[in-house]
Amino acid sequence: MASKKNETRGGYDPRNKLNDLTGKEWKFFSKSVFNKHYNKHCQFEKRKQHGGNKPPLMCMDLIRIFTKSGARILDPLMGVGGTLLGASLCEKNGRGRRTALGIEINPKWVEIYKEICSLEGLEEQETIIGDATNKLDEIKDDQFDFVLTDVPYWNMDKLEHTRGASNIQKGNVAASILQNFGSDKLTSKQEWLSTMKKVFEKTLSKLRHKGYCAVFVGDMYRGSQYHLLHAELARELVEAGYVLKANIVWYDVERRLHVYGYPYAYVPSMVHQNILILRKE
């Protein structure tokens, strides 16, 4: 079948049912490691109030990989709107319009998202404030082409010294307050996994058949051990009904290096996150 040639982007194959990428772009984006540099953009100083914010241009790239122009995207855990901004950036960058819906439990983050849209002159996407486990029930099934989201972690991230640095640097690796996921200060990891499974079960029914779902999830070093959270979460999502297709490793070149274990024990400086790729089949 003939392909339409574009000087800089390469040829576009009209049989392409997944996205609007040319073969050259498809090849670039099919790498299992993302090391493209995303500048601090889109009102980063405002967005960084949210510790888990993701680069909107990176979200735009993921949206371009998994959708065609005209698609509708869902982020049930939207934060300050990396996904929603990414959706609006598609049109601004001449890549076709996408629309999106975000759900966020904390109204503060939605307010910041709206402020960013107005400052950047970006189309404001639809938002719902509330708990995704309830709000998803109010949304019609099978209406989204792609789910792009980023999981919150249990309340560990609200605690002081959650990185375990102070104890480990004193050589007292075992004394980290985070060694016990089940302490009364911390929601247990199992409880976190069950909540996430519930959110993703409900999200699955909103996704159209053959639609993809991409989930940012970082692994963690806590309580003197490494937790393969992406693998543990992937297992829950497969149980929730998704088919696991890939794990993309995002090497975040912007991440500052901290030295945790020196000179007592090896503790990794986490400069990567995982992006689980799943599909409704």
Ligand X SMILES: C[S@@+](CC[C@H](N)C(=O)[O-])C[C@H]1O[C@@H](n2cnc3c(N)ncnc32)[C@H](O)[C@@H]1O
Residues that bind ligand X (CB under 6 A): 50, 52-54, 77, 79-82, 103-106, 109, 131-133, 150, 152
The DSSP-derived string for the chain is ---EEETTTEEE-TT--S-S--HHHHHHHT-SEE-----S-SSHHHHTTSTT---HHHHHHHHHHH--TT-EEEETT-TTTHHHHHHHHHHHTTS---EEEEEES-HHHHHHHHHHHHHHTPPPPEEEES-HHHHGGGSPTT-EEEEEEE----GGGGSTTTT-HHHHHTT-GGG-TTS-TTSTTS--HHHHHHHHHHHHHHHHHHEEEEEEEEEEE--EEETTEEE-HHHHHHHHHHHTT-EEEEEEEEE-TTPPP---STTTS------EEEEEEEE--
What dihedral angle (degrees, nearest 10) is formed by the CA atoms of 60, 63, 64, 67? -160
CB atoms within 10 A of CB 162: 17
Which of 103, 122 has the CB closer to ligand X? 103
CB of 70 to ligand X, least distance (A): 23
Which of 21, 275 has the CB closer to ligand X? 275
CB of 30 to ligand X, least distance (A): 23
d(C-alpha 73, C-alpha 213), whole Å: 10
CB of 81 to ligand X, least distance (A): 6
CB of 103 to ligand X, least distance (A): 5
Which of 13, 111 has the CB closer to ligand X? 111
CB of 199 to ligand X, least distance (A): 6
Which of 53, 67 has the CB closer to ligand X? 53
Which of 50, 206 has the CB closer to ligand X? 50
Which of 173, 278 has the CB closer to ligand X? 278
CB of 109 to ligand X, least distance (A): 5
d(C-alpha 16, C-alpha 71), whole Å: 15
Cα-flanking dihedrals φ and ψ of residue 197, to 5°?
-60, -40
CB of 161 to ligand X, least distance (A): 20
Which of 10, 82 has the CB closer to ligand X? 82
CB of 151 to ligand X, least distance (A): 6
Which of 113, 260 has the CB closer to ligand X? 113
